[in-house]
Structure 1
């Protein structure tokens, strides 16, 4: 009956010239041609600022970018030439939606219950908040269930340069459903922030591919048109170690400064050293994926940059995937996808619920509310697989609307207390060595601590001044001035002098 698809990370980061560890503003021969759109260079500026001899292919006014047409194979030479003129430019690198095919069947929205949907709905459904979904667009015609509130803005098809962000692939429509599928209407599936409006911004083609300039324009467009939250289930392979992009980064920073929360999928490469870009950007919230048992999925990226996890589906059983209304070549249906692409919109929806309760909330307050209340999974405290833990939407809402200080340490969850059940844990607290806790809420455990040992059993540890912890006759309390101890050639009393 139901067809299963699942999402996975295929490629992508932004403009600029990339090296193994990031993005730079000068040409770098290490980047391969298949990683960028050939015959194009992106210039930061306006059409009036384009140097003589260049042909303008596309103007992206919200992001302040111009796509220039150049001879295929000469792209990096033009980037270097423009840099010599004092102009900022870069390659139009290719992006791809996160997809991992999964043919299992699924029969219920376990994912919403896992993140406390019903308790959260007793507080808010997200009414009055707009969530921009930067993806393959949104299809509405023919849907049996659909999205209750849709905000299609003029010019929202960045790829096509028109006002019809029609989804021809299904990925964007599925993600939009997780956020705001029509709910309590007697039909179909539910959405976590079903009272919110979806602003579809088409930055990926119907093949799920996109480029830096369009994504940067999409971010700037969504901010200009009033979105409070932006979901981006797109990115590069984490193994490429991309951490920055001179074209997209300024728009992420500007959105963050404007009070817009950016949520990104961590990526599906099974890479545990760092999440994908743009999820690794300090301006975004990076989301990994767990299966229906709350266990990190085999594909979910982790490590540096990971903030928290949400349901993404693991595919171990027919039910282990995310259900929403979308379409494929056979038409409309309730289809089952899995991937970090599916996990991210849960967090975007939770952010929308926070904005509904406090419209002037800041992106960092959103991050704190979500991470400080996440259900701790894996190793105690922050870890590289689960980040701060599993999204708990109701707890985040309660923590922010009723800033908690249950442990009486004078630090609330709103102020960044990452463990409100332990008074020894709060921002700025001194690390208590060997307690395996992140006492100062800085995502590090027992940093700066010295391992004090008493291996020889003489009652003196290395921290107490035992200068030889393998010999019980050597410690600050042992004689070293007479008899055997005064002539054995050993500093028995650890005072720095042998046989005093």
Structure 2
């Protein structure tokens, strides 16, 4: 922290007058128009004095940051200068906002039990090549929206967690994000149930700190507290599928301390805006920034790219756990053949069976499809219109197939329909056109699993691999594990480290082999 003789030249001091004049502070936050929310860092033992000063300024303490001499406060903007000049105050900074940043094969029985779905990312990061039998000596702390603890594919794990007065108990998850992250890390290898995670055999310890409620955002002060709580709980790895575009000195101090003095490896998402902006906390030197790629190991176009990207992980169409019943599962069969289907977002949860009929591009009413399942080509007309026209023509179900290569996701927006609707690939659409008149079944059902895209999905792959590899070499430091993961990554894109892939795709078995032969940090 800054001493008294340097406080006058802090960045906050330099721009304070301009910020006050422009009304920048508080503009994006839930404070009253004439107040702002900031973090105040204070000298050891000065908490009571600062609280008194805040009260005198007609402000309020909003959050006392766990493990640090700092607190988040909301005060009138005109009081900021006086607080900054308080001899007990080290520095003041904006309490910036943090937000969350969303393909399988059946198991053959080795190494996962039969009936398990194995998300493509598990194999891409080589988790299927390295047993998690020693993972009980590692703990991953997930800072997110909580976890559905009773989920069929998570409930057997070794969970601990925190209660937060603002977001509630760690074992609830209103926006589904944290449960999806947890599944990638540790969905259980249980016969015939769901998917598997990187550490699937209930050995890894998981500590959950919930910073996001239903509203889906938090402050940097909250994140600093959460990180320190992870450290206090004995976490070795912190996984954060979240971030924001502004730095926080308080936040950075927390992660630096955890890395250098508590031997904690923090991993965070690069962000999903597809630009060169550096997101935080991923952008801090003490945190590993993770970018996203797809099942073909190609950079995901939404993944932010810059010199801070360090490792990559699977982040496109990642199947994982969501709170029970919160996902949607689609099924499609025509003439006895099953086809891969995507649920149309907004479709009712229903099943319909009837002869398949050609409905063109779905741009007009056609009563010839009454009592039938409509097969509709994508293009020209929006999905809601296509499905509504099918329904208004008497159709009982709808299948929209792609007009370009591959699968796709569709949404009905605010349009309410009463018939089940799904999507299909261009290839399957062509195959189904050859089966017009045959019996077709379209089903949209509630599910405990969902496909998400995002650097949020890439991040838990990397944090889980870090814990998995580290479990074999517990005497390695966080910095050494980080170096070994970087040096063993599968180089993609331009040779060497690049702005899109970093050092490349994280590799569990390659990292293990490297440390076993060359030692920690090689």
Give TM-score, length-normalised by structure 1: 0.67
Tell me, in whole angstroms, the C-alpha distance in 2 between the residues paired with 1:134 and 1:198: 11
Give the SS at the match of 2:476.
Answer: coil
Tell me, in whole angstroms, the C-alpha distance in 2 between the residues paired with 1:264 and 1:58: 23
Please tell me whether the aligned partners of residues 229 and 352 of structure 1 are also in contact (alpha carbons under 8 angstroms): yes
Aligned twin of 1:463: none
Give the SS at the match of 1:398.
Answer: helix
Tell me, in whole angstroms, the C-alpha distance in 1 between the residues paired with 2:302 and 2:489: 21
CA pair 378-130 structure 1, distance change in 2 beyond 3 A: same
CA pair 132-159 structure 1, distance change in 2 beyond 3 A: farther
Aligned twin of 2:85: 84
Please tell me whether the aligned partners of residues 287 and 308 of structure 1 are also in contact (alpha carbons under 8 angstroms): yes
Alignment of 1:51-200 (within 5 A): 51-52=52-53, 53=56, 54-71=59-76, 74=77, 77-86=78-87, 87=89, 88-98=91-101, 108-121=118-131, 124=133, 126-141=135-150, 143-153=151-161, 156-158=162-164, 160=166, 164-194=170-200, 195-200=203-208
Give the SS at the match of 2:449.
Answer: strand
Aligned twin of 2:48: 48
Tell me, in whole angstroms, the C-alpha distance in 2 between the residues paired with 1:384 and 1:276: 14
Q: Unaligned 5+ residue runs, structure 2?
A: 1-9, 106-116, 328-445
Give the SS at the match of 1:347.
Answer: helix
CA pair 105-350 structure 1, distance change in 2 beyond 3 A: closer
CA pair 165-214 structure 1, distance change in 2 beyond 3 A: farther
Please tell me whether the aligned partners of residues 289 and 308 of structure 2 are also in contact (alpha carbons under 8 angstroms): yes
Aligned twin of 2:224: 216
* 1:446-486 superposed Cα distances (whole Å, 9 cap, x missing partner): xxxxxxxxxxxxxxxxxxxxxxxxxxxxxxxxxxxxxxxxx
CA offset at residue 165 of structure 1?
4.8
Q: State which of 342, 349, 358 in structure 1 corresponds to 2:457.
A: 342
Aligned twin of 1:262: 266
CA pair 36-291 structure 1, distance change in 2 beyond 3 A: same
Radius of gyration: which is bigger?
1
Alignment of 1:269-284 (within 5 A): 269-271=273-275, 273-284=276-287
Please tell me whether the aligned partners of residues 170 and 209 of structure 2 are also in contact (alpha carbons under 8 angstroms): no
Point out 4+ residue stretches in structure 1 off by more than 6 angstroms: 104-107
Cα RMSD of the aligned pairs, angstroms, is: 2.6
Q: State which of 308, 323, 334 in structure 1 corresponds to 2:319.
A: 323
1:232 corresponds to 2:240: yes
Give the SS at the match of 2:309.
Answer: coil
Please tell me whether the aligned partners of residues 265 and 287 of structure 1 are also in contact (alpha carbons under 8 angstroms): yes
CA pair 387-140 structure 1, distance change in 2 beyond 3 A: same
Give TM-score, length-normalised by structure 2: 0.64
Tell me, in whole angstroms, the C-alpha distance in 2 between the residues paired with 1:61 and 1:378: 41
Give the SS at the match of 1:127.
Answer: helix
CA pair 415-188 structure 1, distance change in 2 beyond 3 A: closer
Please tell me whether the aligned partners of residues 130 and 508 of structure 2 are also in contact (alpha carbons under 8 angstroms): yes
Tell me, in whole angstroms, the C-alpha distance in 2 between the residues paired with 1:41 and 1:32: 8
Tell me, in whole angstroms, the C-alpha distance in 1 between the residues paired with 2:497 and 2:249: 30
* 1:196-221 superposed Cα distances (whole Å, 9 cap, x missing partner): 12111011222220001110000011
Tell me, in whole angstroms, the C-alpha distance in 1 between the residues paired with 2:158 and 2:223: 20
* 1:128-149 superposed Cα distances (whole Å, 9 cap, x missing partner): 21100101111223x2221432
Q: Unaligned 5+ residue runs, structure 1?
A: 1-21, 314-320, 404-411, 417-500
CA pair 33-189 structure 1, distance change in 2 beyond 3 A: same
Please tell me whether the aligned partners of residues 154 and 183 of structure 2 are also in contact (alpha carbons under 8 angstroms): yes
Please tell me whether the aligned partners of residues 307 and 498 of structure 2 are also in contact (alpha carbons under 8 angstroms): no
Tell me, in whole angstroms, the C-alpha distance in 2 between the residues paired with 1:117 and 1:58: 39
Aligned twin of 1:480: none
CA offset at residue 402 of structure 1?
2.4
Please tell me whether the aligned partners of residues 167 and 212 of structure 2 are also in contact (alpha carbons under 8 angstroms): no
Please tell me whether the aligned partners of residues 270 and 291 of structure 2 are also in contact (alpha carbons under 8 angstroms): yes
Question: Quick check: which one's strand share is greater?
Answer: 2
* 1:379-423 superposed Cα distances (whole Å, 9 cap, x missing partner): 1112111111111111011111221xxxxxxxx7x454xxxxxxx
CA pair 274-362 structure 1, distance change in 2 beyond 3 A: farther
Tell me, in whole angstroms, the C-alpha distance in 2 between the residues paired with 1:161 and 1:335: 23
Alignment of 1:16-27 (within 5 A): 24=12, 27=16
